[in-house]
Amino acid sequence: MKNNRTDLHIALTVLSLILIFDHVSAALSQYNLLYESPREQPMHPRTFFLTASQERKVVNEVLCEGKDCPEFRVVNDFSNFIQERLYSDANFLSTPSQNSCDVIGTLNAANESLEKYRKGENERGRKFYPVAPLLAQIYHVSSIKTRYPWCKMSIMVNMYIPPYLGIPPAPTNNSLSFKRLPKAFHVYVYTFTGGIEYRMLMELESFRSTLDALMLCYNQERFYLATYKGINEVEDRHEIWLEHC
């Protein structure tokens, strides 16, 4: 009888030791989590992780073809290669808004006026390195399924002004003016290659239906066309940007 009682006592002691051990190790593992978590930034699912400055380098080299381009942060990646970006405040030199059925002609002429500024046609004769992308802001209120859709759009073309210029010199062509990106400029971005005149309108339609299917809200009155020049026309890359609302 006495032995049995001792056995019971031992069993209870062991049991309580196990319970205490469990308790302590649970507390310890909580501590481990506490020590680990502040170092880890919440990340989007990606195949690998880049720091902000590494990402900027990659973007400049790959996306902007080694040219200076406005800084942004990727907010989200969606299906169908749609990316949501948040652009930092940036300065642009802009042409006046123009209506013309000839979109290619309009873009080339605007690029030429803006490039002249970059090559020194400004009040200080200041030149600066090539920039990207050429950013066209395009208003179109009516459907693009009309007969000559481009005739119903108005186009304003913008060139990025890199911050190292400081206060940029005034252009000698007084139809050009400076514009800043809207505050907290959130855009959905869709990349395509190929011609602008026909291909782009089809891409815009499919981009919009994908955003509709994802129930994402975007500005319906205007879009942006960002062109990154490659070594030849086949290598040119275009992005359509639709503003988040």
**Residues at the contact surface with ligand NAG, assessed by CB under 6 A:** 95, 110-111, 113, 115, 134, 173, 175-176, 227, 229
Looking at the Cβ atoms of 16 and 96, the one nearer to ligand NAG is 96
Q: What angle do CA 78, 242, 47 make, to 5 degrees?
A: 25
Judge contact between 95 and 178, C-beta under 8 A.
no
C-alpha dist (Å) from residue 53 to 49, 71, 86, 181, 186: 12, 11, 16, 22, 20
Q: Is cis: bond before 133, omega within 30 of 0?
A: yes
Looking at the Cβ atoms of 71 and 115, the one nearer to ligand NAG is 115
3-class SS of residue 139: strand
Residue 162 CB, shortest distance to ligand NAG, in Å, is: 16
C-alpha closest to that of 215 among 186, 185, 244:
244
Looking at the Cβ atoms of 167 and 231, the one nearer to ligand NAG is 231
Residue 173 CB, shortest distance to ligand NAG, in Å, is: 4
Residue 224 CB, shortest distance to ligand NAG, in Å, is: 13
Looking at the Cβ atoms of 85 and 118, the one nearer to ligand NAG is 118
Burial class (CB in 10 A: 0-12, 13-18, 19+), 116: middle
Residue 116 CB, shortest distance to ligand NAG, in Å, is: 6
CB atoms within 10 A of CB 220: 12
Residue 58 CB, shortest distance to ligand NAG, in Å, is: 22
d(CA 216, CA 214): 5
Looking at the Cβ atoms of 25 and 97, the one nearer to ligand NAG is 97
Looking at the Cβ atoms of 84 and 169, the one nearer to ligand NAG is 169
Residue 134 CB, shortest distance to ligand NAG, in Å, is: 4
